[in-house]
Amino acid sequence: MFSFYTQLRLQVVLAASVLILSLANGLAAQTISSKKDVPTVSRAYVDYLQALGMAKEGSSPEALRLLADSVRLQPENNPASALIFELLIEQRANTPLRLRGHTGKILYAGYSNDGSKIVTASDDHTARIWDARTGSPLTPPLQHDETVMSAAFSGDAKRLVTGSSEGHIRVWDAVSGKPLTAPLELHGSVLSVSFSHDGKLIAAGTDDGKLLTWDAVTGHPLSTVVSYHEEVYSVSFNNDGTQLLSASGDGRADLLNPRTGTRLVKPLRHRNVVSGAHFSSDGKSVLTNSGDGTAQIWDAKTGVPGVVFRHSVAIEAANFSSDGSRVVTASMDHTARVWDAKTGQPITPPMQHPASVERASFSPDGRLVATVAADNTIRLWDAGTGEMLHLPIRGKGKEFLAAFSPDGLSLLTVDGSTLELVDMPPVGAPPVWLVDLADFAATQNSYEQSRKPDLTKIHELRLQLLGSNADDSWTRFGKWYFADSGQRAVSPWSQISLETYVSLLIERGDRESLEYARFLAHEHPSWLAKISPLLAKLPPEQAPSHPKE
């Protein structure tokens, strides 16, 4: 059964079509003439659709007015509140936490289980470990002789394993950054590495079709080399370390004994490449996705096939929700979709993209889905309705990645050599004051002053929020919005103040960090006074050289 808003689409399809046509013709300011005759909830949905189009075109004040109207008409289960959250952050302080230091493309990024650390792997021949709270490096760069393709933390976040393009697997101390074993070797480029949950075993798979496990402490090989004809795309352990799951270009996934490499059940076969395989959180099921246009659930103990999910062409990724009740799929047919894991029935309509969808994953609480498409864009969706909750996050490079933080408050986005943390919308129905704040924010622009804000109401709201003892996510956001810029955190869910963050950038001392610090400090002359002399002392940037014609 589709959500209320999904069913509502059928009621407003004609109105929405007129709206989209008007937006395409550059008439975003038009409203639907028959809007007053549309049922209240339908009008709320039309307002949201129109606001989404305006926000995409950069007309944030007009979008905020319509979003306020939408939430006023339909406070609960309305994607408009998430978009208000995004636009208010953008207006108040467009200062995401950035992790910078790599000089090449980042090919992998992920969190430690406790969310305290982030690891990145790059073609600049380094892996890096970052403080997820401050964005600062925790260790020196982990140097390799070649491109670093993959990485994974141990469950306690004290160790790290990396895999390189020349078949070297290295184990590192995640606190000091020092190697713990001699390089482990496997033929081919290491596409995937993994620790067992207890941290005692390591597995790796390569593009040359090789898979091997080692003792994580001694570095001694355990299994014999398992050979495939094509790539081993992923390796992962079940919860108790008794099963190792692989996905291969041979058109199958395998459940193996990690200490011997022997197969525990018959191969989990598809009719094309199996590019991904994952255990459910309880370890009882396996989810595979294939180039044959299907994803499938299997019994992890017996290998018996279960529910199948179908797209018209290859499924590039498939993942369980954290409770195993749902599956999200990403396909080359330009759609992603959420499904019921028990029945195989769709929960959302197809989430449409303008290009192939390469990745899709649930937030830890299962309420959001993040997708990455071949148009170098990350999109955020409501996992229950399939509605878009955030403007597309557009990248400049060809390697675009996304990962939810373990607490679900942030989305780590990777664009080329730069990482940024994007705050996720609050949980629960929005408070009454959100529409007042959106109306106020809609008046805060320099080009249109026909609507005057009710400053008395906003002043009272500010005092109310700053004096509140409530700790729900909406109140925390309101407090952040009204806080003085010198005391405010970098973003609503960040634990680091803007002043502290600018100080950390100044300590780094490189041109990129100092220029970003100067951008963030534009309202604070005393901060700028520290930054400008440091920039002046740096050698001038060299213009890029061009070959002689």
User: What digits encode the pLDDT tens for the residues 468-497?
Assistant: 999 999 999 999 999 988 888 998 999 899
Give the residue carrying structure tokens 């109306």.
439
Residue 517 within any structural domain of the chain: yes
pLDDT at 17: 42
Summarised one tens digit per residue, pLDDT across range 322-348 is 999 999 999 999 999 999 999 999 999
Q: What is the DSSP string of 78-93?
A: -THHHHHHHHHHHHH-
Helix and strand counts by DSSP (H, E) for the chain: 10, 32
Residue 350 within any structural domain of the chain: no
Summarised one tens digit per residue, pLDDT across range 112-158 is 999 999 999 999 999 999 999 999 999 999 999 999 999 999 999 99
Residues 6+ apart with CB under 8 A from 491: 89, 93, 95, 96, 97, 421, 423, 480
* Distance, CA of 272 to CA of 136 (rounded, Å): 42
pLDDT at 126: 98
pLDDT at 408: 96
pLDDT at 446: 54
Segments forming the whole domain that contains residue 509: 498-537
Q: How far is CA 86 from CA 10, 339, 455, in A?
A: 27, 27, 22
Angle, vertex CA 298, rays to CA 296 and CA 303, nearest 5 = 135
* Distance, CA of 92 to CA of 42 (rounded, Å): 30
Return the structure tokens found at 348: 């959302």
* Distance, CA of 29 to CA of 185 (rounded, Å): 62
Residue 442, pLDDT above cutoff 60: yes
Q: How far is CA 440 from CA 5, 87, 407, 447, in A?
A: 27, 12, 31, 15
Instruction: Give me the percent of the chain exceeding a pLDDT of 90.
Output: 79
Give the chain's largest Cα–Cα span: 75
Give the residue carrying structure tokens 């033929």.
187
Return the structure tokens found at 250: 């041979």
Residue 29 within any structural domain of the chain: no
Residue 37 within any structural domain of the chain: no
Residue 162 within any structural domain of the chain: no
Quick one: average pLDDT of 346-375?
Answer: 97
Residue 413 within any structural domain of the chain: no
Give the residue carrying structure tokens 């209240």.
40
* Distance, CA of 121 to CA of 108 (rounded, Å): 5
Q: Could you give the count of Cα atoms lying within 13 Å of 437 in the half-sphere of its Cβ?
A: 27
Instruction: Give me the percent of the chain exceeding a pLDDT of 70.
Output: 89
Phi, psi for residue 334 in degrees, rounded to 5:
75, 20
Domain count, the chain: 1
Summarised one tens digit per residue, pLDDT across range 485-544 is 888 899 899 989 999 999 999 998 989 899 999 988 988 999 999 999 999 999 987 544
| 505 contacts 512 by C-beta, under 8 angstroms | no
pTM of the full structure: 0.89
Name the β-bridge partners of 479.
Answer: none
Summarised one tens digit per residue, pLDDT across range 218-267 is 999 999 999 999 999 999 999 999 999 999 999 999 999 999 999 999 99
From the list 21, 90, 31, 8, the residue with the least C-alpha distance to 55 is: 90
pLDDT at 60: 92
| 298 contacts 254 by C-beta, under 8 angstroms | no
Residue 515 within any structural domain of the chain: yes
Residue 528 within any structural domain of the chain: yes
Residues 6+ apart with CB under 8 A from 314: 272, 273, 290, 291, 292, 293, 331, 332
From the list 259, 264, 154, the residue with the least C-alpha distance to 213 is: 259
